[in-house]
Amino acid sequence: MISTGKAFIHENFMLQNKTAETLYHTYAKTLPIIDYHCHVPPQEIAENRQFNNISEIWLHGDHYKWRAMRAVGVEEMFITGDGDDKEKFLKWAETVPYTMGNPLYHWTHLELKRYFGIDELLSSETAEAIWSATKEQLAAPERSVQGIIEESNVKVICTTDDPSDHLEAHQQIRKEGACQAAVYPAFRPDKALVASAPSFVPYLETLGAAAEVDISSLRSLLEALEKRATFFAEEGCVLSDHGLRTLPFVDTTEKEAEAAFQKALNQETLTPQEEEKYQTYVLLFLARLYNKLGWTMQFHLGALRNNNSRMVEQVGPDSGFDSMADDRFAESLNRFLNELERTNELPKTILYTLNPIYNEVIATTIGNFQGGGIPGKIQFGSGWWFNDTKDGMEKQMTDLANNGLLSLFVGMLTDSRSFLSYTRHEYFRRILCNRIGEWVERGEWPADEKWLGKVVEDISYYNAKRYFAFPK
């Protein structure tokens, strides 16, 4: 029988050398968490939701797990369908042993260990006992959403919010003051950019109502977006976010962008070039607005979304049918940033790529636009989505170190819809310490514990705290 004689998740999990152990346990382990990009529902924080079972907190919105379950042949009724929560959990438990090598295996057992004290490996054999144990613990008051946030030592959470959102949940959280973490909105105006989508005109009506602006021209659209951004800023927002397949940049004028907007408003078909002119104009306006507001601009680039049309029609978008895109974007990215830098209107910016073949494109691009007295003003964002694996995070760190300054990196975020995903910060910190430890052990970095400890602390927490300058 193969046995290590210790639990799978143990104190030196992922730490493969003595330097890594020292850096993690002495410098990284107990630091607070700043989760500056996630998709948790703020309403559940405001309501301090209590989950009835682990499926509610694990499976109801996790397309990572859905993909794995489909891959092993689980029927859709036990994934996004009307199977009951226990049936869905049992199907997930059957799936877990097959996920070895995927971060899902590590995340699953980290979460069981940290939040429920469970060392058993999840499988069909242990599923019943783990279902009962987690269900009992989730009923305890300290296992409410706010209790989990406090236990996880989370100091800041930035949700992802549409400009039309009135942010009542954020206002309720702030008014009640019961949540340990400061919870801020982040401004994501993607729906205002997809002028060719059937949903574009109905969305303009929603946005216009929120901004109290009749959106009938490009200028009125920009007025509405500015009013909503100003409102978000008043509610503590310091970040924007854009999820784009690629960053558009073409030479355009207000007249050309207006013409494209009017075609979209009249529900006429836009050419790709017309939509690109419209998007370029609006994105440049927004970037200048973010700079004026003192915000950080985020671009998540490279997702090819909703590829399985039959299943998307059946279960809806963003349900696990996405992959990496391979569009080239180096020239348009540099031209876009340069257009803003040319007039000194480039805000702090974080660039993420879903396709790791473009890591070094981004790592070298950010070096073109640093400055303004801001350490690490332009950031290469952490390994995202398909890259928040051990290999993906190590590659991002290495590519950033090779081409930029790893020591100024603002670190990890969950990008998750689950309140149990804060262990991803632990996972990241262990991988970070191990990677630095490897460099030290090979003699490539000096064994200067004081400086290395500072680098680890900064990447894990302090760089983000300084960079974003949250209201509190």
**Helix (H/G/I), strand (E/B), else coil: 431:** helix
List beta partners, residue 353: 301
pLDDT surpasses 80 at 3: no
Residue 153 and residue 413: Cα distance in Å, rounded?
14
- Region 250-261: what's the mean pLDDT? 98
Residue 194 and residue 55: Cα distance in Å, rounded?
34
Structure tokens at 334: 């540099």
Residue 380: the pLDDT is: 98
DSSP 149-178: HHHTTEEEEE--B-TT---HHHHHHHHH--
Under the banding of pLDDT at 50, 70 and 90, the label for residue 378 is: very high
Residue 357: the pLDDT is: 97
Domains 18-49+144-468 and 50-143 share a fold: no
Structure tokens at 244: 């784009």
Q: What is the 3-state secondary structure (H, E, C) of 78-104?
A: HCCCCCCHHHHHHHHHHHHHHHCCCHH
Residue 4: the pLDDT is: 57
How many whole angstroms from its chain centre is CA 30?
A: 22
pLDDT surpasses 60 at 373: yes
- Region 9-32: what's the mean pLDDT? 98
Give 26-69 pLDDT, tens digit per residue.
Answer: 999 999 999 999 999 999 999 999 999 999 999 999 999 999 99
Give the predicted TM-score (pTM) of the model: 0.97
Give residue limits of the domains in the chain. 18-49+144-468, 50-143
Structure tokens at 98: 């097959």
- Region 326-331: what's the mean pLDDT? 96
pLDDT surpasses 60 at 261: yes
List beta partners, residue 240: 187, 297
Give 150-191 pLDDT, tens digit per residue.
Answer: 999 999 999 999 999 999 999 999 999 999 999 999 999 999
pLDDT surpasses 80 at 331: yes
* Closest by Cα among 12, 26, 18 to 450: 26
Residue 1: the pLDDT is: 47
- Region 390-397: what's the mean pLDDT? 98
> Phi and psi dihedrals of 228, rounded to 5?
-70, -40
Residue 377 and residue 370: Cα distance in Å, rounded?
6
- Region 262-276: what's the mean pLDDT? 97
Superfamily for 50-143?
uronate isomerase, domain 2, chain A (1.10.2020.10)
Give 271-313 pLDDT, tens digit per residue.
Answer: 999 999 999 999 999 999 999 999 999 999 999 999 999 999 9
Mean of all residue pLDDT scores within the chain: 97
Under the banding of pLDDT at 50, 70 and 90, the label for residue 6 is: confident
Question: With left for phi above 0 and alpha for psi between -120 and 50, is residue 202 left, alpha or beta?
Answer: alpha
Residue 454 and residue 468: Cα distance in Å, rounded?
19
pLDDT surpasses 70 at 420: yes
For the domain covering 18-49+144-468, report its CATH number.
Answer: 3.20.20.140
